[in-house]
Each structure stands twice: as C-alpha cells, then as structure tokens.
Structure 1
C-alpha cells in the first residue's frame, strides 16, 4: 500500500515487470529501456509469438509497483499528478496510433492493467543513436548523416503535417535501423500546434537539444522547435558530445559554428544547414522540414 512505501527499503526488482510476467495478452521477456516516467519491455504475444515492445506508465517520482504488480501513488499529493500523467499517456497512445509512417514508431494497441496504462508498439531491430555514438560503433560520414537524418525528417514532416510537434528529439530517441534508416521514438511530449497557450511541454526539457522557446511557457512553439533539436542531434554526431545548452548560448554563445569547427571535414552546405537549424532565435531557423531538407541537399 502507498502508506507503507519507503524508498530506502523498496525492493529494486519491483521497479520493473519481471521476465515471464503475463499482462493482457502478452508475456514479458525483458526490459529494453526506462526513463523517469515509463519503462519499455520486449514482450511476446501469447497467441502467435510475435515480438512487440510494451511501454508502461510508471513515473517513479509519483508512484511505485507493489508485490502483485499494481502501480500505486506514493502519497495523496502524488496521486493527483500520477492520475493526470496517466491520462496524458493514454492520449499519447491514441495520437500515435493514428500517426502512421515508416519512420515513426508504430502503436498497435493500448490497454489498462495493474492500475496503470500500457502502449503496445511494433518491435524494430536497431540501436539508438546515443549508444552508437557513445560506443563509437559508427563512422560518422556525410553519407551516414544524410541517410539517417533525411529519413528522420521524412517522419517528422509527417508529424508536422498532422499539426503536431514532437518536442523531445535527441539521439536517445532516434533508433538507427539497418541501412541507417531512422525510427523516431518516445512521443511523451507531443503537442498540437498552433495553440494560444502552452503547458506540459515545459516539463520535458533536454539540455543541449531543447531550444530557448521551449523553456518559455508563453512562447509560440512550432516545427522550428523540433528543427533545433534535429540540428543539435546532427551536431552531436559531428563531435560526439551534447551541444552547449540553448539557455547558456542565450547568455553567452560559446558554440563555435559547425561551418568553422568542421571546415574541410564535411561539405560546407551540410555544416551551414546544421548551423541554420541551431540558430538561437526561432525566426532565424528553417520554418519547416522542407526548408531544412532543401538546405541539406545543397539547395
């Protein structure tokens, strides 16, 4: 029960669903990834043995799992936040189930169980970009960058055409599949646009990838917001480190332009496109995916 919850004595194995756990029509095989608000598992459909990925809503700040896999709030105050987040998670699943594109993770179902909610996605083979860069298992060439990010932009363009923005693009949310084909993951921060006032996007911020306007509740967000994060992810590929955070750049911009820092290592038009995408002020960036694609093509 929530009133007996003590983080110090809480069994660590209860943080995750254990191998062999049956949930709805699936059996859990292993954990694939986890974040502050959810965990993702590799699972198998019992009926036909098809592998899927299942995302479970479990925000560790607000809730925990009990011995019988029920997810309960840590206290009464946390219960309000937990329930609000659960509604948003279900909304994310519903939006994603309609956003069908080869470069966007595909949601094939969602269900409620254990007092929380689950999202069922197709399981794709690949490695996230952050892991590839960290382990230096990929050679970052012009061909690699263009193949990967043009496929990512194809998916992102589809999201924008449906009047949504992702708001959490970063290397750990880009799955690199065979042939350097990108799959965009984690739509927990997705917002519709345009809208008059903005709320929960301020809660999902990643240093180095979130532009200045994403830190400002009254700012207008749009495709240009995602474009900054794409540029920052490309910049990370060039130097294998997280770019200088946007708010630090706003105070004093110490980021050496890519066109200077990587001169003669990559074509000038490619470096200029990255710098353009990473312009501090939203109005100075490409305003659409199509504009960035054209710049990457040297147009």
Structure 2
C-alpha cells in the first residue's frame, strides 16, 4: 500500500497506517467519493477463509492472549468460530454517537476490509499514559457514561462487544468518547445470547475465558475493569496466560478505589466490586443497572468532556509524547481524489445546460420573432433550454438542435435546415438518448468552438466514448460546427471555432447560409480537417481501450500530435475563410491563434487525465447517468 496511486476497493486512498494487532492492520484512508477520512481494518485471509468469510461459524469459540494468535490458523478462521462473522453486519446495526460507525465490509481477493468512521484523537490508553496526573473524576465520569451508553445501545440490539478495553475506547478532539471494534461482537438468536469467545486478558471475565455462554454481564465486567484501572492506576487482572489470568481474578486482592481519591465515596468500592465479581450471578443484571449505581458517585460528565477535549487538543503539541504506532507513510491527497461523484454529476448538468443554451441561442438569433438580446422571447427560450439541458443533456441537445434547424430554415436555407433536423434526430435516437455523456461530448464543439477551441471536440470524444460512438459523434459534431460557421458573414474555420459573438450579440447573419455551407463542402482543406477530427477521435478511443492512466496520457499526446499534423495539412490544402480564427484561402500556414487553440486543447485534456480518478472509459465522465456508477469497470492503476 505504499504506492500513492493505489486505491483500496477502487475507492479509498491510503494515507497512513494507524496501527496493527491480532486482527490485522488499520489504515487511515481517504474516501474519494464522499470526501472524508475513514479507518480501514485490513484482514488477510487464506483462500479457504475468503470463501467462508460470509458464512456463520459453528465451531467452539477461542480466546487470544496478548500478542499471541495461533500461527496455524488465520484470523478469519479464528473469527469464523463466532456466530455472525462479518463485523460490518454486526456493527452496522449500531448507530449512536458513542459508537464508531461502520460504513461497509467487503472482501476482495484474500483480504477483508472493514470500513469504519475515522476518529481524530487518542485512545484511552494513550490519554491516560500521557495525562495520568491530570485525570479527574469528571473525566472518569465522561468516559464511563459514554462506554456504558454505547454498551446499552448494543445490548438492546442483542449485540455483545466482548473486547471492552482502553485500546478500544477513542476520544476525539471534541472530547467525545466512542467505542470501537465490535469485531468480536455476537448477534444472538431469538432465544438469547449464544456462546462466543474473544477478548483480551485483563479485561475478560472467567466465563469468557472458559468459553461458556455469554450475556451482557461479560461486557459489564470488562467495563468495571476499565473503570477500576482508571481509578486505581493499575489492572490487577493482567497475566501472561489464561491459566494465571483465571487465578488473578479468583484470588485478586483489590485496592479500594475510595482510598485513591479524597472525594470518592466508599460506596464506589462496593459497586465496582459487585460488577467485578467472578460469579456473574453476583453482578448487576445489566450495564444499565451498573451505570445507574455508579454514576451518582463520579464527577460531572459535561466538565469531563471539556477536560478530555482540552487534553486531546494539547496532545497535538509536538512536544507531547504520545505512544502510538509508527506511521509507514503520509501522503498528500492529489486533486483527483477530491473530485466526487456529485461534482462530476454537477459538471455534467452544467455542461448540458450551457451547451443547450448556446446552440439554442444560435437558433433563436435566426428566427425573427425570437432574435435579439432585448427580446424577452429570446431569454424565455434560453432559460427553457438551460432547464431542460440541466435535467437531461440529450433532451436539451435534441430540442436545441431542432431549434437551430428551424432557424436555418427561417433564414432561407431549407435544405440545410432539414438536414440538420434529420441528422440530429438520427444521432439522438441511435446514440444521444442512450447516454447523457454523448450529448455533452457534442456540446463540447459549439461551447469550445465559441472561444476558438473546437479541436477539443475530437480529443474529448475519443477520451470519453468507445470507438464506434466516438467516430459517429465526432462526425456529427463536425456537421454542427460547419453549420454554425455558415451562419455569419465572416465565418470562422469550422476546425477551430465559430463566431458566436457576431451572430448572437451583433445579430449579423450570412446573406446566404446554404451557399456558405456549400463552399465548405467544396473545400479539400475542410474534408482533410474533417477526416482528421474523426480519425483522431477514433485513435484516442482505441488507445483508451487499455484503461490505465498511462494510456490515458498517451492517447491525448498521440491524438494531439496527429491533430496538429492534420491541421497543418488542412491549412496547406486551403480552406475558404477569411477570419482571424482561421487561415485565409491563400495562406498555407497555421496562424498563432490556431497554434494556441491546438496547444490549449491538448493541455486541457492532459489536465483531464490528471483529474481522472479511475482511468476507465467512464462514459458518464461528461454525464450523470445513475446506472453508470453501479457498473464501474475495474482498472489497473499505474
């Protein structure tokens, strides 16, 4: 996972290692979709374990000792002995402010991933280790209240934690206490709690060590052990193995907690010792009863929360020594990992809305009763196209292109107008209506062409669409560009842009649109450029058939070079234009504006490669079809 480009489950970018233990490693990662940090527990499985991982186990429970897990048996086989193996299903049931949320649980290959809420702060172990001299009864009250509440929520859902200990208690920067790692929890059946194992010596009662049927009093004992440790400063139940751990509990000589605190009632001794009784029948019936008995004798929860927040904040001081696992690496989160699905969807809607409005503005400028920026009907048309295009790009495209064809007919060019409407309808039916991304690709031509960046169209088309659709879409885009260029008397080169300002703002229209369009059809340079545009889109799409980031860059660079060569060839052959956006018929060379257009188009597409999180075809990269996100292709990241 040291590779900064690697994504866990095609979604989570590892940032650092948070720790390791008997249950695998914990990675801090960045959720590239929801844009938040998460903690990921990574558990390595054998192939047999991976196949069994989703099945409930039926074998006898086992218990692990500190720093010891059987070498012959992997963790998941160990965990599969607990009914209801997968941690996600167990913990995802529990929604509470004092419980670390579990977002997901997946198995990929031979690794199981538990995706959890990331808590920025300290474990209870770290906090007490660094600030034992600042521990107050208020802090004890805040910690106890939070853990007991979390357990009450879990127990009400018939879930046991079975591993309550300071390492599984987290405190965030607001002083909020959260219980984590319900990985050994057991979902009981309808008749009661089942047998379960797991736990850590020092915080594990006798019945858990002896693999007896467990109930919530098991967690009660562990919680009492944590509280005793906080009040007295040591845990008398630690032992190197289970046999001596049992003896430590049965023969324990406990210090009275009330002797360690001037303002702690002696009643606390009796309450804690009841909860710590080796015989569970002598304990409180529930954690709730235990909490109600102990809380009145502790401090103020609200003040304790404030004190915890202060200590966690102080721990940020680099001079404060906090025991923690060394981090394997930290890395900057690249911009592409901050681009969310929602932002992509929003960009698609904006593209659809603006593209529809631009094409419709050309059509509205050609129809006498809607022409002119001061005409209210013009703005009614534009607003309507914005709304439709934002809702569905392909519908916005269809209406806008029909509107454009109607405008061309209104200007005395019925043949071109009818061809525009017919071709638009055919393209929409066979390509456009099937995906919003294709419509947005077509919109790239009039949008980018309005600022002299029409070469961008062929690169985008090949980058986003598959080869056949890329070829057809680019050919249709060339027709749209030639039609738009024919609308103004000083028409631009359709390979580079169209004069939107002259048409929409100044209201200047070519005296014979159909003749202007015919002049392009008679130009060898135009056909050379058309073939180049279409060929480049197909070439880029073919290179993108290998969905890696390297080939994404390669497709843009190769396509850009070929596009430049085609533009040079088209200029040499000659095109019938006189605008500064295109060479004159007598000039066999590209001018500075055209070179800037080509270079800018290539640079923009390289930037798109940088932003592309998953270099697959992503036919919704320019759209927002809901079904796309559930049908993503796996890719190989370089």
TM range (shorter): 0.7 to 0.9
Quote how far apart the aligned CAs of 1:258 are.
2.5
TM superposition score normalised by structure 2: 0.38
TM superposition score normalised by structure 1: 0.78
> 2:23 maps to what in 1?
37
Answer yes or no: is 1:153 the counterpart of 2:148: yes
What does the per-residue CA deviation read over 1:250-285, in whole Å, with 9 as the maximum and x for residues that have no partner? 4422223324x4253523344433222212211111
What does the per-residue CA deviation read over 1:22-41, in whole Å, with 9 as the maximum and x for residues that have no partner? 11211100011211122111
> 2:252 maps to what in 1?
253
Of 206, 225, 233 in structure 1, the residue corresponding to residue 226 of structure 2 is 233
How far, CA to CA, are the matches of 2:114 and 2:246 in structure 1? 34
Unmatched 5+ residue regions in structure 1? 1-16, 64-76
Structure having the higher strand fraction is 1
> Secondary structure of 2:114's match?
strand
How far, CA to CA, are the matches of 1:178 and 1:275 in structure 2? 33
* 1:214–1:221 contact (8 Å) kept in structure 2: yes
> 1:205 maps to what in 2?
199
Answer yes or no: is 1:216 the counterpart of 2:214: no
Quote how far apart the aligned CAs of 1:137 are.
5.9
Distance 1:95 1:186, change over 3 A: same
Answer yes or no: is 1:113 the counterpart of 2:108: yes
How far, CA to CA, are the matches of 2:194 and 2:152 in structure 1? 23
Quote how far apart the aligned CAs of 1:96 are.
1.1
Quote how far apart the aligned CAs of 1:236 are.
1.2
Name the Cα RMSD after superposition. 2.9
Of 24, 28, 37 in structure 1, the residue corresponding to residue 14 of structure 2 is 28
What does the per-residue CA deviation read over 1:140-189, in whole Å, with 9 as the maximum and x for residues that have no partner? 21111111110111111000001111110000100022454221111121
What does the per-residue CA deviation read over 1:79-120, in whole Å, with 9 as the maximum and x for residues that have no partner? 875553576696211111121111111011122224221011
> 2:291 maps to what in 1?
293
How far, CA to CA, are the matches of 2:45 and 2:140 in structure 1? 34
* 2:121–2:171 contact (8 Å) kept in structure 1: yes
Of 242, 252, 255 in structure 1, the residue corresponding to residue 235 of structure 2 is 242
Give the number of the structure whose alpha-carbon radius of gyration is greater. 2
> Secondary structure of 1:191's match?
coil
* 1:108–1:122 contact (8 Å) kept in structure 2: yes
Structure having the higher helix fraction is 2
How far, CA to CA, are the matches of 1:182 and 1:38 in structure 2? 23
> 1:167 maps to what in 2?
162
> Secondary structure of 2:14's match?
strand
> 1:279 maps to what in 2?
277
How far, CA to CA, are the matches of 1:263 and 1:82 in structure 2? 42
- Of 189-198 and 141-150, deviating more is 189-198
Aligned residues: 264
> 2:99 maps to what in 1?
104
How far, CA to CA, are the matches of 2:104 and 2:166 in structure 1? 26
Distance 1:23 1:187, change over 3 A: same
* 2:236–2:252 contact (8 Å) kept in structure 1: no
Unmatched 5+ residue regions in structure 2? 50-69, 239-244, 298-638
How far, CA to CA, are the matches of 1:100 and 1:284 in structure 2? 31
How far, CA to CA, are the matches of 2:72 and 2:248 in structure 1? 38
How far, CA to CA, are the matches of 2:181 and 2:175 in structure 1? 19
